[in-house]
Amino acid sequence: MGGEQSVTTARERAANVRIHVPGHPFRLAAGEGLVWVLNRAPRPCPPSRPCTVTRIDPRANRVVGKPTRLPADGWDLAAGFGSVWATQFDGRLIRIDARTGAITARISARPIYFGSGVTVGGGFVWTGNDDERNARGSVSKIDPDTNRVVGNVTGLGSPQSITYGAGAVWVADHAGWLLKIDPTTLDVVARQRLDFGAHGVVATNEAVYVADAHENRLLEADPKTAKVRRIVELPVGLIYPTVGAGMLWSSSAAAWGNVRDDRVIAVDPETLKIVRTLHLGGNVPAITFGFGSVWAPVRTGWVVRTTPSAKS
C-alpha cells in the first residue's frame, strides 16, 4: 500500500493564492488564456440561483467580466476553440465565447442527451453521454466549426469519464471498461475490462491513469494497448485526476460525501505514491492544471491556485 507524505512546503504555502468567486465553485477548466469556474450549489441549481460560469484572469489572479448564466443545471466544462463548453442536465451542450462570456450556441443532439463529461482534442469536442434518458451510453463528436455532431460511438455502458490524450479519445466507463477510441474512424481500437466503476481518466503519451474512487486505487494502463500495467492502493481515493508539473494531481473522493475533506493530492507517476498533500480549507470537488499551477475550487466560495515546483 502506498504511503501518504503529508507535506506542504513553505514554498508551496507562499505560492497559494485564494481568489474569491461568487457562488459555489464546482468544476474548473483552463484554456483560452483564462481559468473557467462552473458554479453550482450542492443540489441542482434552482431558477432563483442559476448555475453560472465565471472567468479568472491567471495573470492578475482575479475574476474578470460578469458571470455567464447557464440556461439549465450544469455539470462539467472544457476549454478550447476560442470557447468554453459546458454540459447541462437538460441534455444540451452550451458554448460560451472566451472573449465576451456570451453564449454563442446551445447544441442539441436529440434523441441523444449529451452526458456529464466533456473534453476537447484532435480538433473536436467530445462528450460522454451517460444520461439515463438515453437507450445506451455513447460518445459524441462535435465539430466546433459548425456546432454540429459529426459522429457517435454507440453501445457503451455509462461513459461518465472522458479525456483526450496520446492521439485518442479515452473513456473510463463506469460500467467497468477502459476504452480507446480512434478519433477519425470512431472505432474502439482497444478495450480493457476493469473490476470497478471508474471516476476519472487522464492520458499522456506515457500512460493512461484511471481512478477507482470507491476502493482507493489507481490504475495505470498502456496508452497503445490499454492493457493494465499496475494497480496500487492509496490511503485516499482519487477522483477526476489531471496531470501537470511532472505529477498526477487529484482532490479527495471523500469530498463528495458527507464529510469534510480539503485535500489535494500529488502522485509521482513513476512510483504511483503520494508525495504531496495540500490542505485548502474546504471540500474540493475536482481540480484542473493550467498556466503552471493547480487550480482547486473550494466549496466555501474560493478558487485556490497553487504553483508547485516542477518535478526534478
Q: Partners of 230 in the beta sheet? A: 220
**pLDDT tens across the length of the chain (312 residues):** 344 444 444 344 435 899 999 889 999 999 999 999 999 876 778 777 889 999 999 999 999 999 999 999 999 999 999 999 999 999 999 999 999 999 999 999 989 999 889 999 999 999 999 888 888 899 999 999 999 999 999 999 989 899 999 999 999 998 899 999 999 999 999 999 998 999 999 999 999 999 999 999 999 999 999 999 999 999 999 999 999 999 999 999 999 887 889 999 999 999 999 999 999 999 999 999 999 999 999 988 999 999 986 443
**Cβ atoms 157, 174 nearer than 8 A:** yes
> CA dihedral defined by 71, 74, 78, 79, rounded to 10 degrees?
30
The torsion region of residue 147 among left (phi > 0), alpha (psi -120 to 50) and beta comes to: left
93 near 142, Cβ under 8 Å? yes
Residue entry with cell 469556474 = 37
The amino acid that residue 3 corresponds to is G
Q: Rounded to whole angstroms, how far apart are CA atoms 39 and 239?
A: 19
- Structure-block grid coordinates of residue 17: 493564492
